[in-house]
């Protein structure tokens, strides 16, 4: 059996002598060629987990393997296998786009890499910026360069830590087309994102973290089928009765409540009627990942 | 594997050289100007009043000291400012995710610090030569102390860059440690002219040996034997390098 692309084995991380526990026994594997989503609210430990994977932080316990290489013991092999797109929009102001990519390539021992660098620039819509200084680029362009830097040594395992935060629609499209292509060509991808519709569309399997623990780990289709599968959407100006308000997702005038089956939908409607809540534009649809996410996160509270 | 690591270290070294070379007006031009100002002011004031080692004119005496002071300060500045800037702007992450060993970091940062130190030193030497010629007794001493001294200061800059979390901490390191030690190292005077207490203090300052040994290469005379200076500077280089390497290996303040 081939090694997992990434294997987290009982990973924990504590700060301040154990007073703060950022990760608490996290274990899961990402298979070769898999497109895997890591989701969780802010502070769940996603970035800490990725930092340990990347060698930016050290685990307090457990270990992480990349294609069988321990990220501490065998860091050089592990890092050569990984391409990491960091969350922060960082850049080196001394260099042009092409210089930055050549340098990053050189760190991995790959020199004379211009053919692949040109392909990256082309695919990420950066071809006309190759000789621009990093300082002159817009935020979105800098983000593209970060992606190119992560891919410059052709890593078999790609890690994207919230790559689309604050990014316009066009770049998202370009980015996902390119990443999906690399995934089809056999690269494993680990994605963290707050855009759950992206995770739903792209990831075949998902782990959800909360307070440093894995609270869900399954195929995306199973997660969507297994939890509340139906969602009731309507508009209202009135307050919802307390028993519904606690489980409803309200955006402006739109309220959404999840249900497991038709009988529960009827009960919900009955409750609304009894409370004399006026409703407009009622629709009953399939739950999306965001509904599942909220349900799991609320469930994990107890 | 080792070829790959070598390529990685070479790339980081080239990047560090390119970084200061792209802004050479500030990183080479400015320190040359500073050294020339020192020479003009002190040389003009003291030329007719001071003779060193019995026969050497003050301006000629001052030139090697100024060259070496510039070499040392700029070697320190190169490693330390590059690291602290990368830490604060966050682009150190590009290095942290790369498969570079602690040796690769050390060789690249210290190597680039030596190049910057020598470039500035050469600049100061070329410009100040027009004011007086100090002579050249033995170029091997000159080169040995320039390379070893800038290597030592590069390694020290690496340690300071790892330790400092803010620009003001770095400025404090530079202003309260590096500046006093270079100024009190005998750049502007022969320590032989000092009262006994200050002579003893100077002999405890490793910077003194770097300057004194370097100057020996020009005049063939010095306050202490160049072999003693070589021993002190060589030992200091090894100790500081060992500390820098260990901090890098542990990821001190860069891997959390």
How far B177 CA lies from chain A's nearest CA (Å)? 29
Task: Identify whether the C-beta of residue A278 lies closer than 8 Å to the C-beta of residue A238.
Answer: yes
Instruction: Assign A223 a pLDDT band (cuts: 50, 70, 90).
Output: confident
Please tell me the total count of domains within chain B: 1
Q: Are A249 and A186 found together in one domain?
A: no
At A14-49, the pLDDT tens digits run: 988 778 889 999 999 999 999 999 998 888 899 999
Give me the phi and psi of A236, to 5 degrees please: -155, 155
Domain that holds residue A10: 6-224
Q: Measured in whole angstroms, how far is the alpha carbon of residue B191 from the centre of its chain? A: 20
> Is residue A296 situated within a structural domain?
no
Q: What is the CA radius of gyration of chain B?
A: 19
Contact A108 B99 (CB under 8 A): yes
* More confident position, A263 or A133: A133
Contact A76 B10 (CB under 8 A): no
With beta carbons under 8 A apart, name residues in chain A contacting B93. Answer: 56, 86, 88, 90
> Is residue A79 situated within a structural domain?
yes
> Is residue B256 situated within a structural domain?
no
Q: Which of B87-91, B124-128, B148-152, B198-202 has the lowest mean pLDDT?
A: B198-202
Domain that holds residue B162: 2-250
Q: Measured in whole angstroms, how far is the alpha carbon of residue B117 from the centre of its chain? A: 6
Those residues with Cβ within 8 angstroms of residue A297's Cβ, 6 or more apart along the chain or in another chain:
A41, A208, A210, A215
Report the C-alpha dihedral over residues B234, B204, B118, B17, rounded to 10 degrees.
80
> b/e for A209-247, b at 16 or more Cβ within 10 A?
bbbbbbbbebebeebbeebbebbbebebeeebeeebeeb
Q: Are A242 and A136 found together in one domain?
A: no
State the pLDDT at residue A17: 79
Q: Are A183 and A106 found together in one domain?
A: yes
> Is residue A301 situated within a structural domain?
no
Question: How many contacts (CB atoms, under 8 Å) link A and B?
Answer: 88
Q: Are A220 and A276 found together in one domain?
A: no
At B149-158, the pLDDT tens digits run: 999 999 999 9
B86 contact A CB<8A: yes
Please tell me the total count of domains within chain A: 2
Percent share of chain A, pLDDT over 70:
97
Q: Are A87 and A148 found together in one domain?
A: yes
> Is residue A63 situated within a structural domain?
yes
State the pLDDT at residue A129: 92
At B73-86, the pLDDT tens digits run: 999 999 999 999 99
For the sheet with A188-192, list strands across it: A82-85, A157-161, A188-192, A35-39, A205-210, A213-219
Over range B13-20, report the average pLDDT.
95
> Is residue A300 situated within a structural domain?
no
> Is residue B224 situated within a structural domain?
yes
Over range B199-207, report the average pLDDT.
88
With beta carbons under 8 A apart, name residues in chain A contacting B251. Answer: 58
> Is residue A66 situated within a structural domain?
yes
How far B249 CA lies from chain A's nearest CA (Å)? 11
> Is residue A114 situated within a structural domain?
yes
Domain end point (choices A173, A203, A224): A224
> Is residue B75 situated within a structural domain?
yes
State the pLDDT at residue A295: 75
With beta carbons under 8 A apart, name residues in chain B contacting A51. Answer: 256
Contact A107 B23 (CB under 8 A): no
Task: Identify whether the C-beta of residue A36 lies closer than 8 Å to the C-beta of residue A189.
Answer: yes
Average per-residue pLDDT in chain B? Answer: 90
> Is residue B186 situated within a structural domain?
yes
Q: Are A112 and A75 found together in one domain?
A: yes
State the pLDDT at residue A301: 55
Write out the E strands in chain A: 6-15, 20-30, 35-39, 61-66, 69-70, 82-85, 157-161, 188-192, 205-210, 213-219, 230-235, 249-251, 254-259, 280-286
B14 contact A CB<8A: yes
At B140-177, the pLDDT tens digits run: 999 999 999 999 999 999 999 999 999 999 999 989 98
Q: Are A29 and A44 found together in one domain?
A: yes
Q: Are A191 and A259 found together in one domain?
A: no
> Is residue B255 situated within a structural domain?
no
With beta carbons under 8 A apart, name residues in chain A contacting B94. Answer: 90, 92, 103-104, 107, 149
| DSSP per-residue codes, B17-54 | HHHHHTTHIIIIIHHHHHHHHHHHHHHHHHTTT-EETT
Over range B11-22, report the average pLDDT.
94
Q: Are A126 and A252 found together in one domain?
A: no
Percent share of chain A, pLDDT over 90:
48
Domain end point (choices A224, A241, A276): A224
Q: Are A85 and A214 found together in one domain?
A: yes
Contact A94 B8 (CB under 8 A): no
> Is residue B67 situated within a structural domain?
yes
State the pLDDT at residue A302: 47
Over range B219-243, report the average pLDDT.
95
Task: Identify whether the C-beta of residue A235 lies closer than 8 Å to the C-beta of residue A254.
Answer: yes
What CATH number does the domain containing A273 carry? Answer: 3.30.70
> For B107, left (φ over 0), alpha (ψ -120 to 50), or beta?
alpha
Q: Are A66 and A143 found together in one domain?
A: yes
Q: Are A124 and A176 found together in one domain?
A: yes
Domain end point (choices A224, A256, A273): A224
> Is residue B111 situated within a structural domain?
yes
> Is residue B114 situated within a structural domain?
yes
Task: Identify whether the C-beta of residue A20 lies closer than 8 Å to the C-beta of residue A176.
Answer: no
Instruction: Decide: residue A261, CB within 10 A, 0-12 exposed, 13-18 middle, 19+ buried.
Output: exposed
A124 contact B CB<8A: no
What CATH number does the domain containing A186 carry? Answer: 3.40.50.300
The residue in chain A having the minimum alpha-carbon distance to the alpha carbon of residue B88 is A90
Token pair recorded at residue B215: 């100057």
Task: Identify whether the C-beta of residue A163 lies closer than 8 Å to the C-beta of residue A89.
Answer: no
ipTM confidence score: 0.88
Contact A51 B256 (CB under 8 A): yes
């Amino acid at each position: 059996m081939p090694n997992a692309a990434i294997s987290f084995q009982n990973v924990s991380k504590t700060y301040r002598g154990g007073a703060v526990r950022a990760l608490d026994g996290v274990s899961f594997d990402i298979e070769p060629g898999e497109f895997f989503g890591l989701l969780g609210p802010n502070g769940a430990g996603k970035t800490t987990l990725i930092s340990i994977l990347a060698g930016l932080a050290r685990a307090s316990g457990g270990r992480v393997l990349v294609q069988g290489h321990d990220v501490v013991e065998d860091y050089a092999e592990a890092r050569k296998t990984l391409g990491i797109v960091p969350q922060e929009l960082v850049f080196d102001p001394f260099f042009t786009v092409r210089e930055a990519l050549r340098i990053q390539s050189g760190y991995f021992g790959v020199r004379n890499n211009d053919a692949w660098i040109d392909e990256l620039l082309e695919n990420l819509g950066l071809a006309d910026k190759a000789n621009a200084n990093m300082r002159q680029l817009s935020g979105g362009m800098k983000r593209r360069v970060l992606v190119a830097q992560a891919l410059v040594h052709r890593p078999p395992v790609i890690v994207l830590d919230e790559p689309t935060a604050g990014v316009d629609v066009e770049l998202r499209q370009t980015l996902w087309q390119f990443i999906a292509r690399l995934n089809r060509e056999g690269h494993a991808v680990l994605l963290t994102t707050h855009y759950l519709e992206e995770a739903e569309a792209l990831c075949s399997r998902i782990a959800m973290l909360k307070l440093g623990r894995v609270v869900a780990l399954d195929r995306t289709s199973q997660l969507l089928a297994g939890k509340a599968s139906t969602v009731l959407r309507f508009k209202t100006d009135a307050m919802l009765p307390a028993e519904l308000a606690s489980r409803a997702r309200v955006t402006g005038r739109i309220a959404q409540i999840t249900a497991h089956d038709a009988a529960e939908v009827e009960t919900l409607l009955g409750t609304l009627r009894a409370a004399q809540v006026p409703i407009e534009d009622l629709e009953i649809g399939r739950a999306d990942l965001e509904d599942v996410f909220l349900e799991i996160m609320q469930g994990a509270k107890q | 594997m080792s070829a790959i690591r070598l390529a990685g270290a070479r790339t980081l070294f080239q990047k560090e050289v390119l970084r200061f070379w792209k802004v050479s007006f500030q990183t080479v031009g400015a320190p040359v100007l500073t050294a020339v100002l020192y020479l003009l002011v002190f040389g003009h004031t003291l030329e007719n009043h001071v003779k060193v080692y019995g026969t050497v004119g003050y301006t000629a005496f001052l030139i090697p000291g100024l060259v070496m002071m510039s070499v040392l300060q700029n070697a320190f500045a190169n490693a330390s400012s590059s690291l602290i800037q990368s830490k604060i702007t966050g682009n150190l992450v590009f290095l942290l995710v790369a498969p570079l060993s602690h040796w690769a970091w050390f060789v690249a940062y210290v190597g680039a610090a030596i190049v910057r130190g020598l470039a500035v030193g050469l600049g100061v030497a070329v410009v100040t030569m027009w004011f007086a010629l100090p002579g050249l007794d033995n170029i091997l001493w000159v080169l040995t102390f320039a390379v070893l001294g800038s290597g030592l200061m590069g390694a020290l800059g690496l340690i300071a860059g790892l330790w400092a979390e803010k620009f003001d901490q770095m400025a404090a390191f530079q202003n309260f440690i590096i500046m006093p030690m270079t100024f009190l190292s005998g750049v502007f005077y022969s320590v032989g002219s000092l009262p006994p207490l200050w002579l003893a203090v100077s002999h405890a300052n490793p910077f003194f040996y770097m300057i004194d040994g370097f100057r020996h290469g020009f005049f063939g005379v010095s306050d202490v034997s160049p072999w003693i200076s070589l021993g002190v500077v060589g030992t200091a280089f090894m100790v500081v390098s060992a500390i820098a390497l260990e901090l890098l290996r542990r990821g001190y303040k860069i891997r959390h």
